[in-house]
Structure 1
């Protein structure tokens, strides 16, 4: 609702564990973005609100796995179609088209959570929480984020005027940040992959049976240059009819050098100028430092859905992993741990409480 109020366009957010994994407004998708958001087959059916959700989900597909969706406008049939083929736990919207509701009712064998909210509802100014008999109160976050926030004397350093697109992106980023739980902020640089990815991967043909979530992983390791590191080279090759040529270091530097107009929002001040230098640069070489890490212990309160989690953990020196287990892909996870000589413990115990 904040996004629509600020920008006047239908908006959607993909929440994971009460923080937004992706937030977007209804800006049309080009051919490349249609493919990256996995809605190219619906190009002629896309509506403003379905476009907003496709963008929100596509911002960070791995973090959006099992999301809860919030829409500013009525959920229509096209939006319901997109949701029906994604792993999602629920949706909240001001209204639902009858046919869209029928589609959503079939999801998760009828257990998909569908909530309707009064779009004019205003919560109380005072928020209250009770923990072990202790009552905590705080004023709700009613910060107004609009174009005025990014203009006038607030602009303290600039070499050129802010474009409309730049202001729009800053508003989306900052409103999303407003709803992040404290300490949930994470680097936003990987979101760049949604906007610009080498055509070698966007035009690649995946083998039949490769799942949508897995495709997101393959694109990610391609862009990050972690094939053969975070992901086994044979696993990579076996996912394609014909595996695309990998990016070289020079390819990646050239690609990143062409990126411009990226908006970055932070919920804390920048203590040193190297934060700004890092945002402007393509990245720092951490491989030598990371390669020296060993004996790291990793504890997770959820199962690991794909083996690339283990491959990545190994790159950070992880030798010991404990998790509840329970994934349909546990066999692959165990195989990955054996491959990396990682000790894996499945406790069967979930500690997370809502």
Structure 2
């Protein structure tokens, strides 16, 4: 199908939607990137934990992601992680959208949603948003993606195996959720979590300590807004921590558990720094870069 435009309004674009159907609105190139990436995150998180999962996406990275008692609870928690960044978000949820969530979405600034289904009357409520331009997409929950992913840029065609490596289910909930979030976030990435929701995500930075600092600053804002002490925070890094300055930064923001791939020549320094700050260190041996 023809899209509204590509990455920018002066670029034309088209797409083959495959397992996704348009229930209302007209997607742009970035809408679909956010939708497809967000859907993968919530699908994996929902299957891993057996409860509703939600993500609030902006520019192909989540502003927030969370688990909840209901699909509405999950989205509220995901959006509350970083409401400033979630302004004008693309929503992804792991379960069908009900009237309660539609009512929440009706009252917030958002560009669209992807879900595995919609209860009767919900699409009509959502389609009325943004003067009738709100984008409503439905994902086929039974679709199994191809084993390989293909990308073509500037005449160069790249093919790689889809990242479907099973993540360790023996890890604490916040660490496992953080690894799932990192898998679908632009690298470099650091995710801070508490009580099965993200409270700070530092994404797309060239320096990993900048990711840690950014995630920590967002976590501090979340704690201030929620009126709670910033304690018992888990931190997940998509790549190995190269220097102990990441641990120093993490300790400033109440981090008590750090999970990262390890395997770096400085990993012994990371382990020592964690021990010095009373932080549990888990080398996962799993790198989760996404570009």
Q: TM-score range by the shorter chain?
A: 0.5 to 0.7
Query: Residues 133 and 278 from structure 1, CA distance in 2 versus in 1: closer, same or farther, beyond 3 angstroms?
Result: closer
What do residues 284-329 of structure 1 show as CA deviations (whole Å, max 9, x unaligned)?
xxxxxxxxxxxxxxxxxxxxxxxxxxxxxxxxxxxxxxxxxxxxxx
* Gapped regions of structure 2 (runs ≥ 5): 1-42, 189-202, 205-210, 255-291
Query: Residues 87 and 168 from structure 1, CA distance in 2 versus in 1: closer, same or farther, beyond 3 angstroms?
Result: same
Which residue is equivalent to 1:273?
244
Matched length:
189
What do residues 136-194 of structure 1 show as CA deviations (whole Å, max 9, x unaligned)?
1111111223423x3xxxxxxxxxxxxxxxx1111222111110123434432213443
CA distance in 1, matches of 2:125, 2:156: 43
**Residue 6 of structure 1 contacts residue 146 of structure 1 at CA under 8 Å; is this kept in 2?**
no
Query: Residues 73 and 198 from structure 1, CA distance in 2 versus in 1: closer, same or farther, beyond 3 angstroms?
Result: closer
What is the CA-CA distance between 1:102 and the residue it aligns to?
Answer: 1.9
Which residue is equivalent to 2:219?
191
Query: Residues 175 and 198 from structure 1, CA distance in 2 versus in 1: closer, same or farther, beyond 3 angstroms?
Result: closer
SS at match of 2:181: helix
Instruction: Give the RMSD, CA atoms, in angstroms.
Output: 2.0
CA distance in 1, matches of 2:223, 2:48: 22
What is the CA-CA distance between 1:75 and the residue it aligns to?
Answer: 0.4
TM-score by length of 2: 0.60
CA distance in 2, matches of 1:143, 1:195: 33
**Residue 188 of structure 1 contacts residue 264 of structure 1 at CA under 8 Å; is this kept in 2?**
no
What is the CA-CA distance between 1:58 and the residue it aligns to?
Answer: 0.9
What is the CA-CA distance between 1:74 and the residue it aligns to?
Answer: 0.5
Q: Which has the higher contact order (CA 8 A, sep 6+)?
A: 2
CA distance in 2, matches of 1:172, 1:193: 21
- 125, 135, 138: which is aligned to 1:116? 138
**Residue 24 of structure 1 contacts residue 53 of structure 1 at CA under 8 Å; is this kept in 2?**
yes
CA distance in 2, matches of 1:80, 1:198: 24
Establish whether residue 168 from structure 1 lines up as the match of residue 173 from structure 2.
Answer: yes
Which residue is equivalent to 1:69?
91
Higher strand proportion (structure 1 or 2): 2
What is the CA-CA distance between 1:196 and the residue it aligns to?
Answer: 5.3
- 59, 65, 87: which is aligned to 1:23? 65
SS at match of 1:119: coil
Higher helix proportion (structure 1 or 2): 1
- 106, 111, 124: which is aligned to 1:84? 106
Query: Residues 195 and 79 from structure 1, CA distance in 2 versus in 1: closer, same or farther, beyond 3 angstroms?
Result: farther
What is the CA-CA distance between 1:274 and the residue it aligns to?
Answer: 2.6
What is the CA-CA distance between 1:86 and the residue it aligns to?
Answer: 1.4
Which residue is equivalent to 2:39?
none
